[in-house]
Structure 1
């Protein structure tokens, strides 16, 4: 039997932004990774907090990038939020939508009526990411929630990745209403809530799924909450310093520079690596020395820091280690 990491799982659930693509450009190697999984007979699913595209649009976008995808393989927070609202309110009920047209379409498809003003007397406010969201619709939302409308957020990602660096995400827009209303949303649907993960596993009849993401506070925490193994890839938001500082509920099973880690031995990615030396690196107490693959050094330091050595006490004792810690902001 293959010792490839992916061979130990019967479903791989990918996050999208920062894992498969950045905004609208594929991350190198992503298409090849998905095709290789399919060739090996491993089902895939895509679970995203981004509420600005519908499942069919996401599948079309992926396919256009050379990443094979079907609409029923895509689970997003817009569809999940609309489904929750349809369970709570009668057909035709007015729902104020803060977000992109995709979110309005999801609300409409479940039989509810998207509205845009407080005067429409919405029974709920659903808030998802949309690049055109501005003060006016946020004001209508604030008035509606204050009047008693249920406030549902598709997700609370503070940022979203881009080729130019992290940009404000839906969580930043939710924070505007949180500040104005001095309260939290009544419900957050997307990750780190486990629903997208458990639904993906259920649809595939998966008994041993693996979640792959780039964010510790959503992808990895959601997988931990769902009782699933997870792999952090360092192509998006969360970097080495954040991983080292992660509390137990945000610690992945594996870490890899990119999706190629799916096809290497699991023991080359497993966290933490509790050893004094590996792959040319050595850890002596809080001191890193040697040289080699940066991910191996990261795994060694996770073992050290997660076992109690304070992050701020890490030091370097070789030029390569010095450069690495500096690059990580340590």
Structure 2
């Protein structure tokens, strides 16, 4: 369930590990208000690390994109799943080991930067690492799959099933992982979220005694934070909406919840229970006998979401069935009033 914080998060936590797409930017454009929020967090003394499962781009390319959007970001502030995969390989194979690379230039560069020797998939190697690459050839996929089936150690940068492309939702590296795993009967060591290596590498490199994972996805960002035992902040500027939130199992529930990165500057208060309703900042949410969420009261947008999420999770834990939300419409931040029960 949602927790209370000891002061604003930007003061209680000294490191924010930020997912990128859906949190800082959406495609080529900054999330409204995100650059200003991040600048304020830095000014408050908070370390910022930008963590991404994208293994195709070099950290310098990601940092340049962030700076173009008005976000103060150095190359060393970016940690990719390619870097996390390379760290795993260096630990298991040793410095200078030849590593077969199936992916884009960002993955090959990360392997080289870790003191390993990147080679082609047909060359002699101690392990193979795979990642998303738009120009990966089928013949190389076949060779890699055969070598993995024959026993070559395999590290996958991530298992993301999809990603947003200019032409719509596209299959991600997870689709390739699934194909190779089905053919070879071998499951890879995974470096990216929700597996621990990416966030462990981030904490090791950037530092911070009290890290916070900030993301928009329950199954990668929030689950990834939980996997390394750090609190999480879910922001609602990306892919998570009511349907995902009300059906979230306990392992996918965030520690804190806010509409956007402005939540870093809030002192969070866990919703309270009053006569069976979840209450937060003037909002009251409950699930009726018909299994439909009902909301009344007034307040800000983040508190609306906190009340609704808490009531839905109580219902899910008790009944095993997600609440319905027929005609339930989230208010804008700062909404003045909602009367009665909202039904979908």
Is the structural similarity TM-score above 0.5?
Answer: yes
Q: 2:69: which partner in 1?
A: 65
1:112-123 alignment, distance < 5 Å: 112-118=116-122, 120-123=123-126
After TM superposition, give the deviation of residue 62 of structure 1 in Å. Answer: 1.1
Q: Which moved more, 1:31-40 or 1:84-93?
A: 84-93
Q: 1:83: which partner in 2?
A: 87
Q: Secondary structure at the match of 1:266?
A: coil
Q: Which moved more, 1:247-256 or 1:273-282?
A: 273-282
How large is the Cα RMSD of the aligned pairs? 2.9
2:149 to 146, 149, 164: 146
Cα distance change of structure 1 residues 95 and 195 upon mapping to structure 2, 3 Å threshold:
closer
After TM superposition, give the deviation of residue 96 of structure 1 in Å. Answer: 2.1
1:309 lines up with 2:311 in the alignment? no
1:137 to 137, 140, 150: 140
Q: 1:7: which partner in 2?
A: 11
For 2:140 and 2:130, how far apart are their aligned partners in 1? 10
For 2:313 and 2:249, how far apart are their aligned partners in 1? 13
1:28 lines up with 2:32 in the alignment? yes
1:177 lines up with 2:180 in the alignment? yes
Cα distance change of structure 1 residues 199 and 107 upon mapping to structure 2, 3 Å threshold:
closer
Q: 2:131: which partner in 1?
A: 128
Q: Secondary structure at the match of 1:235?
A: coil
1:259 lines up with 2:264 in the alignment? no
For 1:310 and 1:325, how far apart are their aligned partners in 2? 21
TM-score of the two chains, using structure 1 as the length reference: 0.85
Cα distance change of structure 1 residues 105 and 244 upon mapping to structure 2, 3 Å threshold:
same
Q: 1:160: which partner in 2?
A: 163
Is this contact kept in 2: 1:54–1:79, CA < 8 A? no
Is this contact kept in 2: 1:116–1:140, CA < 8 A? no
Structure 1 residue ranges without an equivalent (≥5): none
Between Structure 1 and Structure 2, the one with more helix by share is: 1
1:226 lines up with 2:223 in the alignment? no
1:46 lines up with 2:31 in the alignment? no
